Amino acid sequence: LDNVARVLRSDKQELYCVCRQPDDLRRLMLACDTCEMWYHMHCVGVPNARGRAMDNEEFLCPKCAKLRGQAYKYELRCKKPPHKDTPRAATVAALLRKA
């Protein structure tokens, strides 16, 4: 049921990060300076204190670092993202009605 609740809360919200989850307003996020995609700092392994101090530094996401031939500086905490076809709230609600 935790997964169902997460999907219901995320309906009609953009999905971000390697975890493909929305911004939940509780976790800090930062944007890649190359692709401009947003990432939860926890998922991409950037400590909160480090992220706050990065105002004048370039942040490259794991994908952009790889494309540039650079090693990614942090250890990913979210290694396997959920499938892109994760059901949205309408689908989950329909399934719950059938149950």
What architecture (CATH level 2) is domain 13-84? 2-Layer Sandwich (3.30)
pTM recorded for the entire structure: 0.64
- What pLDDT does 51 receive? 79
- What pLDDT does 45 receive? 93
Closest CA to 27 of 63, 56, 18, 2: 18
Tell me which of 54 and 44 has the higher pLDDT.
44
Residues 6+ apart with CB under 8 A from 38: 16, 17, 23, 29, 30, 31
Domain residue ranges of the chain, discontinuous segments joined by +: 13-84
